[in-house]
Amino acid sequence: MYDKLYHTTDISQSSFLITGGAGFIGSNIVEYLLKYGAGKVRVLDNFSTGSNANIEEFKSNLVFELIEGDIRDLETCRRALEGIDYVSHQAALGSVPRSINDPIRSNEVNVNGFLNMLVAARDAGVKNFIYAASSSTYGDHTGLPKIEDKIGSPLSPYAVTKFVNELYASVFSRSYDFHTIGLRYFNVFGPKQNPKGPYAAVIPLFIEAAIENKQPYINGDGGTSRDFTFVENAVQANIKALLAKDIDKHEVVNIAYGERTTLNQLWQRVAKTAGIELTPEYREERKGDVRHSLADISKANQLIGYKPEFSVTEGLDIAFNWYKQNSTVVQ
């Protein structure tokens, strides 16, 4: 992975902080930055959902630094930002079901922690602050494709927290002249995404089932569709947004592939890759889920030059091979 170069400027003298850098998307961003010679790459993570396995290979790199700490502590955020030029804020508690089961903790991490990072980054004078927003912000708005300025009412506590992030970022832009970019991710998948635990995402669950030749389950009738997005596309968006010039206001952009795939189609593709034939077990729909999702990615293209390089099928092939090779290290 990361054979494609997504930046043109010299990053050898630049320092980067990746919060949640031991997590799925964060560790992939770290991998790209180290591969292409960043001056310093610092990770801040409390390992509540991240994994040491995701960053173990980086620890011998002299420009890599790990701070084990929690974004809910402002002083930890300030310490992590010392000497940092660019911030990619990936730390959060994901999962709609998790937020429904524990809305207070989701709010503490995703809202209070986000505000701590905004304040600390503003005071540190970083060059660019990029954060993980979410397609869950579109809520019950049924229009397709999803366009950034047309949203509905949130359907889960998680969605509320991610929308509040955008509101705070917008207010900081107007009040403090501190401009940020939010990346509204659409169902990102790929290597280092954990298939274990009660809040695992559908693609790693499907791949794990296929590798073990076990019947997968699908919430609902399988007609639910998503704009699944391979993780290298999300990394591209982060790199281009981090190094973007002349951002003079808060911006939010969709990060996706721009294609809908139903859960039934998704399983068929995974099963074909694995060379198996299994019929899924169908269960009840999950609370807080939307029926269909599809992104308009034209704004991201215009603002930061984002152009997804990997289709869902290409991404699934890479992800499947990674899980097959790394099944013993996925925790």
More confident residue, 53 or 290: 53
Tell me what the mean pLDDT of segment 199-223 comes to: 93
* Average of per-residue pLDDT values in the chain: 95
Encoding tokens for residue 292?
A: 């269909």
Q: Which stretch, 29-38, 194-203, 271-280, has highest mean pLDDT? A: 29-38
CA distance 70 to 45: 6
Residue 30 parent element (H or E): helix 24-35
Residue 218 CB: number of other CB atoms within 10 A? 21
CA distance 155 to 100: 10
- Matching residue, tokens 């494609």: 4
CB 16 within 8 A of CB 38: yes
User: How many whole angstroms from its chain centre is CA 211?
Assistant: 24
Q: What is the pTM of this model?
A: 0.96
User: Which fold is adopted by the domain 15-191+231-258+295-309?
Assistant: Rossmann fold (3.40.50)
CA distance 244 to 238: 10
Residue 63 parent element (H or E): none
CA distance 31 to 36: 9
Residue 296 CB: number of other CB atoms within 10 A? 19
The C-alpha angle with vertex 131 and arms to 331 and 58, in degrees rounded to 5, equals 45
Q: Which residues are catalytic?
A: 158
Residue 308 parent element (H or E): none
CA distance 43 to 20: 7
**Has residue 246 got a pLDDT over 80?**
yes
Residue extents of the structural domains in the chain = 15-191+231-258+295-309
Residue 329 pLDDT grade (very low, low, confident, very high; cuts 50, 70, 90) = very low
One-letter amino acid of 169: A
Three-state SS string across 223-235, please? CCEECCEEHHHHH
Lowest mean per-residue pLDDT among 62-76, 149-163, 286-300: 286-300
